[in-house]
Amino acid sequence: MSEKVRVRIAPSPSGNLHIGTARTALFNYLFAKKTGGEYVLRIEDTDLERSNEEYKQNIFDSLKALGLNWDEGPDVGGNYGPYKQSERFDIYPKFAQMLIDKGYAYECFCSNEDLDKEHEIAASKKIPYKYSRKCLNLTKEQKDELKAKGIVPSIRFKVEAKELVFNDIVKGELKFDTNLIGDFAIMKSNGTPTYNFAVVVDDMLMKITHVIRGEDHISNTPKQILIYEALGAEIPKFAHLGMILAPDRSKLSKRHGATAVSDFIKQGYLTEALLNFVALLGWSPSDGVEIKNVDEIAADFRLDEISSSNSIFEYEKLNWMNGQYIKKMDISKLTDLALPFLKDYDLNKYSREQLEKIIEVTREPITLLSDLVYDTRYFFEKPVYDEVCELLKTNLSKKVLDKFLSDVDGYDFKNEQDVHDKLAEFRAYFKEKFGFKPKETMWALRAALTGRTKGADMVSIILLLEKDEVIERLKSAKAI
Ligand code: GLU
């Protein structure tokens, strides 16, 4: 019987949820979904100085917004809690002591100054630094003496020299010479565990079967495997994902654009588009169709088919994809997401139904929800005529506006078909009588009603603005 897959996402709350962590979370989530496994959220907040509540909340909110809900975690609980490392501080020393007792670890009394000196010597000899093992063979008496002086030791793992080989699901076989590693700390003198130790103890106790994470952690993996071996624990399978790079191939950072999921959302990206886009950073659909929802991706997902190379974060492709999602999204849902971006407008001017119509008729060309601020402005504010001044001053425009004003009483503003038909007659009239092209006639009308030469369809604009407003705008435009 094969054991149940258990994976985890283990963010450190020292920043808002990064888009790269969102991809790691997604791949863990997809793997769990595909295999009927469990997906755990663990908050790695052992570094109390760098961790804070706001970041933790941001991580929760962003993962939830993306729909990457966890089966076990700090808020929902589970059989292997607590799921916040800061609430597990009593667990780690016991395992560290066990390693000392078995001869896999030892107390180290070196001060930071001692260690800095060792680093300097290695640097001056141009050799990679490795701890000197000065404290490896201290006698009990020596240790007691140091402790009596008030020196609290850290605990170091004793690294045996050997070739360590493991099979990474994504990267294939990886070999490390542990002789290069040096004895590393597993517990700090302040009683908190180091990352490498806490992560192994927790993954072991939480029965994690697959560790799927960014390849920036590859160099930690041999250390972690040594700890598993020393603890006599089963070693999980590892899958290290290639890095996400900026279009200029440097590390993705704020100077390239948003990097935190919450910033993407604030800028008007849809979480569905973000998820679909980050899935493609390493995974490719077997049928070549890139636009897919999470369920479709999960059905087609295979961890061993993830690309082992780095991926480029193409903001332009994300924008395109976001536009595709905006075009297809259910209009009521899209309106819910769009209205917060329009909060500075007097939304009470319109009914919910009309607001949905405004979004419906303006969504086609946009890439971000925030584009709606500009694209819907003329529905909420008087048009600004700066850009269409010249157009409105033409003879053609004057004729078009005059006629529309004299016809307007005949329009039935409650009847879409009627407005549609009347506009067709209106265009035909100018074509026949003056030879104006239909689009020229409409430009003049559009310029008067919106201050622009492009935008939503005219029938919708006229119906949404309603008669009084239409008349008022035409009169203002005529006065230009
Ligand atoms: N807390 C680590 C990070 O945020 C997670 C490392 C891991 O997945 O093992 O990078």
Q: Ligand 1: does its nearest atom lie under 6 Å from the Cβ of 239?
A: no
348: confidence class by pLDDT, cuts 50, 70, 90: very high
pLDDT of residue 474: 98
Residue type, position 289, single letter? V
1, pLDDT greater than 90: no
* Residue 173: domain span: 92-241
Whether 475 is a known active-site residue: answer no
Write the CATH number for 407: 1.10.10.350
Number of domains composing the chain: 2
Domain CATH number, residue 184:
3.40.50.620
The mean pLDDT value of the chain amounts to 96
Is 181 contained in some domain? yes
> CA-to-CA distance for 446 and 414, rounded, in angstroms?
20
Indicate the residue among 241, 274, 291 that finishes a domain.
241
* Ligand 1 neighbour 456 (Cβ under 6 A): no
Q: Give the residue from 221, 241, 261 where a domain finishes.
A: 241
Task: Give distance in angstroms: CA of 123 to centre of ligand 1.
Answer: 29
| Residue 228, domain member (yes or no) | yes
Whose structure tokens read 């517990």?
Answer: 187
Q: Are 72 and 83 in contact (CB under 8 A)?
A: yes
The rounded Å distance from CA 273 to ligand 1 centre is 25
Q: pTM of the predicted model, to two decimals?
A: 0.93
Q: 135-138 long-range contacts, Cβ below 8 Å, gap at least 24?
A: 135/106, 135/107, 135/108, 135/109, 135/110, 136/106, 136/183, 138/106, 138/107, 138/109
User: Taking 60 as the threshold, does the pLDDT of residue 215 lie above it?
Assistant: yes
Residue 250 covered by a domain: no
Percent of the chain surpassing pLDDT 70: 100
Q: Is residue 391 part of a domain?
A: yes
Whether 44 lines ligand 1, by a CB cut-off of 6 Å, is yes
Residue 7 and residue 209: Cα distance in Å, rounded?
Answer: 6
Q: Give the pLDDT confidence of 276-335 residue by residue, as tens digits.
A: 999 999 999 999 999 999 999 999 999 999 999 999 999 999 999 999 999 999 999 999
Task: Decide if 16 is inside a domain.
Answer: no
82-131 tens-digit pLDDT: 999 999 999 999 999 999 999 999 999 999 999 999 999 999 999 999 99
Helices (DSSP H) in 280-415: which residue ranges? 294-299, 315-328, 331-338, 352-362, 371-375, 377-380, 389-393, 395-407
Which of 177, 208, 241 represents a domain boundary (last residue)?
Answer: 241
- The whole-number average pLDDT for the span 231-248 is 97
Of the pLDDT bands very low, low, confident and very high (cuts 50, 70, 90), residue 2 is low
The CB of 335 under 6 Å from ligand 1? The reply is: no
Is residue 389 in some structural domain?
Answer: yes
Q: How far is the CA of 39 from the centre of ligand 1 (A)?
A: 15
254, 343, 414, 454: the active-site residue: 254
Determine, yes or no, domain membership for 353: no
In this structure, is residue 236 part of a structural domain? yes
- Which pLDDT does position 418 carry in this prediction? 97
User: Who contacts 210 (Cβ-Cβ below 8 Å, separation ≥6)?
Assistant: 5, 6, 7, 31, 169, 236, 237, 238, 239, 303
